Structure 1
Amino acid sequence: MEPTLTKRIAQVREQLSAGGLRVVDFFAAHPAEASVFSAQEIARRAEVSDATVIRTVKQLGFGGLGELRRAAAAMLNPVRDPEQTLAEHLTRSDDSGRLLAKISLDAVELVRALPQSVPAETFEAAVGILAAASNTLVVGYGSALPVAESLSLGLRRISRTASATGLTGYNFADELSQLKPTSALVLVAPLRHVREHDVAISEALRIGCPIVLITEVLASHFADRVETVLVTPSTEKLLPSNLIAHLLLVDALLLAVSALDPERALDGWKTTNRLRTELVEGSLDVPLTPSIAAKFPLPGSASGTPPVG
């Protein structure tokens, strides 16, 4: 059996330079990031040179960064038993009176970790793919489907063409057939790897369609086949669902895409609100506060109409 990344680090630690120690400490503390980060990003986070990262990888006995990524991913225990996870959560939830406080504190920890788990350049690459796409197909299964639908709906509301699907089996073929080289494919796959993911990636690669993966533990399964991987923080030891980080990431993506073409985004919302008004025969807008109006100014005016939920 191949030695684990943790064991390799222990075996060579005394032989490493100060820079090498910073690199392995980063690997040990941030296995999710290490499983997808480039040598340049690892170097930036560990405050060393790219050459130090590559040299340390070799000293650990890996043939290259790809091998190290797989070893780092193995530390994440991607095969998570839902029954065992629930049992562990229940042991932390024996005091129902304090449960809300516990889950809130865990949620705060999760939110604070999100910016560190998604490098700025990775996030910007995903935004660029979504902004340039003629249409976006967002795929999510099980509990990931609401996240996929949220991203799809948000894109449509800012004048982008998008759809979400949770279809499986041969029905999924109809969804994949809408992909073109100018499309974007987004896979929301927090924990589970299914055959549909592989087929979707293969089809997107065949036609030259860029792929964005949003995940918690599956980065190493797909990193070599997709353009961009957005890794959310681990929730294995936390009470909140992984969907919290995924939904926050979706909100950030939508705001960033909107910021690239504000007029297009505002036009989309104006159309949505106009149609809503016609459908209900009245306005759904809420009174604006100065702070809200400042966030959503209309072109040529000092005030604006914010998106309505």
Structure 2
Amino acid sequence: MEEKNTLKSGFGSRILHWIQNYKQYIIQYFGLIFVIAVFLYLTDGDLFSARNLETLIRQLVVILTITLGMAFIYSHGGMDISVGAVVALSSLCATYVMNLTAGQVLPAILVSIAVSVTCYLLNIIVTNQFGLMSTISSLSVMFVARGIVTYVNSMSTDKIEVHNTAGLELFRSNTPFLIGTMAVLCIVMTVLFNLTKLGKQNRAIGDNPLSAMQSGVRVKKVKVEAYVLAGIMVGIAAVFSLSRTGSVSEKTGSGLEMDAIVALILGGMALNGGAKSRISSAIIGSFTYVLLNNGLVMAGVDTQVVSLIKGIIFLIVVFLTIRQPKSKKVLPR
């Protein structure tokens, strides 16, 4: 009898140990499979209808592009909550450029990226220079960017919109282009994250900044590079966001910061970064989040209830991902 109990307890402890070691992957893939199964049932298969797939892709390209960049910031233990405001400001500048250049998209993309990178450089320079938490500096950037967009809109007598949207058609309704863009971005960012010094050093900083510095990592420089890369991705995402509406208002990009955070957490991204950070968290998490959001709406759930459900799921996943040894730092730096 004692031998049987020992075997059972040994098997149980091995199962618990396996779950603990691989909970990141369990959260990633089980969450995605669960969301797909539930909403395929609730929508009678309409979740993956041809028409809804186009909607999913248009939603996915924005959030995926953002989270691919955010993964580098989160991997070194940082956090950004300014992304929605930066998207709004970048979209505003891109709109004016398109109107000044008779609808030319390339100059608008370059300006959008430049504005976004500037915002993220300001963010990390303040963090590095004054030793502030990344959330504090990004909060400042958020207020500044959102304030500029709100002020410009309040001073404008007309709606701020792109006069000639022909150039944005490719970014709005060309499904093969959107899928191809996402595939290329995923491949490029996966290579950068897994096979270059930038990704490896960011993860090393997330584990232990002091140890990384003593190993020769230029911590501040690496963080700047991560924020510049994130800024580039947010600038690209702003163009895709602009293509969907063709205009910019005070509410443009509102809520995107939480969308990005929830997507990353659903993908199993640890809040404190480190060696266990995965670029797949951005990819799988974005798919899961978009399917969850779209599926709830298709199932007829009230908008306010959708936000509540997402909030509850977010808290559950955060609880599962931050249960680590007390000696390890959990809060973003």
Q: TM-score range by the shorter chain?
A: under 0.3
TM-score after normalising by structure 2 = 0.25
Q: Which structure dedicates a bigger proportion of its chain to helix?
A: 2
Q: Which structure has the higher relative contact order (CA within 8 Å, separation 6+)?
A: 2
Q: Which structure dedicates a bigger proportion of its chain to strand?
A: 1
TM-score after normalising by structure 1 = 0.26
